[in-house]
A and B are shown apart, each in its own frame.
Chain A
Amino acid sequence: MAEPTQIRRLDQRPLKEAISTRGRSIIPGLTKDDVIKYFFGANAWISIVVLGLIMLSLYSQSIGFDPAEGFFGQNYRNLLVYRQAGLEFVDIIKKETSDLGQLSDYLSAVRLHELKRLLAEGKSAGKSEDQSLAEANTTLAAYDDYIGKLSSLGEGLDGIASNLSDTATATKEAIKEVQDKKAEKRLYLRSGKKDLADKVTYQEVDLTAAVQPFKAALPSLHDANAKFSADLANFLNQPPPALDAEMKSRLADFESRLRILIASIPAYQNQLETWNPNQPLPWYMGIVDFFFHTNWLTASAWQDYYGVVPLLVGSTLISIVALAIAVPLGVGAGIYINQIATPWEQNIVKPAIEFISAIPSVVLGFFGVAVLGEFLIQLSRWGLLPHFEQRLNILTAGILLAFMAVPTIFTLTEDAINNVPRAFKEASYALGANRLQTIWRIILPASLSGVISAVLLGFGRVIGETMVVLLCAGNSISIPPMSKGLMILFQPVHTMTGIIAQELGEAENGSIEWRALFMVGLLLFIISLIINFLAQRMVHRFKISIG
């Protein structure tokens, strides 16, 4: 009887054996076998090394190894200067006048309501739109004066604030300059150029002297506040020129709002008087500010803010919309193609869906701006969607991203269903279940873990996409008001990926803005990492035991 090794075909030999038949060493100490093994091994590991390097560079560019030089340290100093230079002080006054602004906004909202009513009245009376607009504006003229009078009451405070903001900005610039000089000096010292470092001279800003103007302004602020309070109280006595009962009822709230504003003035005055530029800022504020501040504002002449909340909210809202559309489509298509479709359909649909992922995202972006956005506006004009005017919004971006996520979800879902043993299906039929019952009760639960990981990977695809959101999401930093309910879909937002693409080109290497953008990148990276990790864990969960 022949030995088993002799009847093995040549191509069935183990790789190791196949290689070592001519095994002569080309590198001393290593067989050719070893060389090839290490070559393939290195190829596999290099991606992990690169991944590690990316993480390392993201970390060093954002948080940094030197806590004072990294983003959180710089942001902490940014906030500290805000306090020390007196910007905080001026913002207290600005907050007070913006409360007044909100009150006039309230009056304006009532005016808008009234205007719409007058226009509708004019329309039913058969007048032209321009004519009824002109007439309505004349009717509302007295009311406009009333709003104008209210707004002008803040002028005294505004004047003081405007003078003080010049002082504060000048101090801030001076502090910035000293900080820049210090950084320059450190850089020279680090690279051993002591002579150059000695040439960099600077004089520390005298913070006590710098805040003197604010302390000196307190008496005049006290007077201005007293006058503000008296003027507002006076204003209470002037009844608003209400046009009709409905408007009157809408304005009923106004008096109490005005009283609240008057009551808040002493608190503001107190805040100003107790304001202390030397009050220590807790060390963690640089971090807290990044994660919880609701404004991202750069290149401001006043104060820059780096809060990730609006970006995170924007990215999340778009992803939710995209997944809400892509999950039913992708999973549904996967089930249909795998379980129900004829081979003919399979041959058409499967390559077509997989082709979608080959479309460059910038092309989809252009499609979104030129066709989809326009189409959605048309739908709204036909009354099929609620009224909106901004064609770059969450919905436009979400639909396009859904389109991009469908191939990922479809392919992975189909794979997951393929992995369900045929015996499950046959057993189900044998028990008398029909096809739909089998799919719903047997196939889907058995492949659920795979489907969930497909959805998670689709989510990862969506949240990391840049070009489409840059072109179609509208890039507006304010967080859309949740009070609008589903109308929120038609609001523009900014995203984490979009802001990096938009602002990195202008940010100076190593500046706070540069590091803030890398911080956003790092956050995005961590989110993707978690999603992928969860997706991999999911595959092994919820598995009906197979086999």
Chain B
Amino acid sequence: MKKLLALSIAAALSICSVQADTKLVIKGSDTLGAKLVPQLAEAYKSSHPGISFSIAAEGSTTGIAAIIDGTADIGMASRRAFPAEVSAALANGRSLKPTIVAYDGIAVIVNAANSVSKLSKKQIEGIFTGEIKDWSEVGGKPGAISIYTRNTSSGTYSDFKGMAMSKKDYAGTAQKMAGNEEIASEVGKNANGVGYVGMAYLKASGVKAVAVDGVTPSISTVQNHSYPISRSTFYYTNGEPSGEAKAFLDYTIGSAGQKIVEEVGFAPLK
């Protein structure tokens, strides 16, 4: 769905390019490309007429590969380039230059009435893989844990597996919800519920975020990397960015861009 949305936005944007002078090609991560970058592009276009965007969000690997092959101006990525990718770029006479544009943190939430307020990363893995089945096993009141996750078409579904579950599979009993809002509302109603949401959804009623390895998720703990279920997101460019790519990058990390970053649910740089 996300991909479809990004592609259709990309298509819509490329139609606009008929009269545009310059076109910025952005490829890569669907974490960034689904919502954040298209919104940034929209806002940027209104202040910079004559520029058009082509955005394709098909995963971080495609973004980095596009910089290596020189088929994009900016590669979006939710991970750093692997050593093999760095050397492949050098072999092509290019260099991969990452710039952090936003931080992404996923909060683990439980019902507000749950007596558990902190979990270790290992316990979170155990809960979501189904090895830990009852809240009493992690120091809470007795009650069979109900797991709520995103569904497979969400990038967060696999991101969370990578960040918090050592890539293991979710328990079969996990209930797959369409969005953050649904997870928050089910956990808010279910005294034994547990789920995960983006930072922007912590205000939902009836839920509380648990501290992971002793750190409470907040914009500041995500920014200083002390919260374990978080990561940086990057724009990759070929060497130092220049021209329109630099202008758009500066816009993204500037105050106007970072405001959009925060609205979309990422943690801004500062």
Contacts and interface: CB of A to CB of B under 8 A. Distances in A.
Nearest to A473: B175
Contacts of B175: 390, 392, 474-476, 492
A493 B151 CA distance: 14
A524 interface: no
Interface stretch (B71-79, B97-105, B138-146, B235-243): B138-146
A492 B186 CA distance: 13
A515 interface: no
Contacts of B191: 389
A391 B133 contact: no
Interface string A452-493: 000000000000000000100011111000000000000010
Contacts of B140: 133
A200 interface: no
Nearest to B185: A369
B22 interface: no
A487 to B, nearest CB: 11
Mostly, the B contact residues are loop
Interface residues of B, number: 39
A403 to B, nearest CB: 22
Nearest to A492: B175
A494 B177 CA distance: 11
B173 interface: yes
Interface stretch (B32-40, B45-53, B164-172): B164-172
Interface stretch (A81-89, A110-118, A218-226, A441-449): A110-118
Interface string A375-400: 00100000000000111100000000
Contacts of A129: 141
Contact of B142 (A116, A310, A475): A116
Given A133-B141, A390-B146, A475 B176 contact: yes
A436 interface: no
Interface stretch (A61-69, A280-288, A297-305): A297-305
Given A116-B142, A133-B141, A295-B172, A108 B134 contact: yes
A255 interface: no
A503 B146 contact: no
A300 B189 CA distance: 29
Contacts of B131: 101
A300 B153 contact: no
Contact of A301 (B1, B133, B143, B161): B161
B175 to A, nearest CB: 5
Contacts of A377: 189
Interface string A111-153: 1100110010000000001100100010000000000000000
Interface in A288-323: 295, 297-302, 310
A478 B136 contact: no
Interface string A156-180: 0000000000000000000000000
Interface string B198-234: 0000000000000000000000000000000000000
A105 interface: yes
Contact of B193 (A389, A502, A506): A389
Interface string B103-129: 000000000000100000000000000
B251 interface: no
B177 to A, nearest CB: 7
A99 interface: no
A506 B3 contact: yes
B190 interface: yes
B157 A299 contact: yes
A374 interface: yes
B190 A506 contact: no
Among all A-B residue pairs, the 9 with the closest Cβ atoms: A478-B172, A506-B153, A301-B167, A475-B176, A505-B1, A476-B175, A299-B152, A474-B175, A478-B173
13 contacts: A108-B137, A297-B169, A301-B161, A377-B189, A390-B175, A391-B186, A392-B186, A476-B175, A477-B172, A502-B151, A503-B152, A505-B4, A506-B153
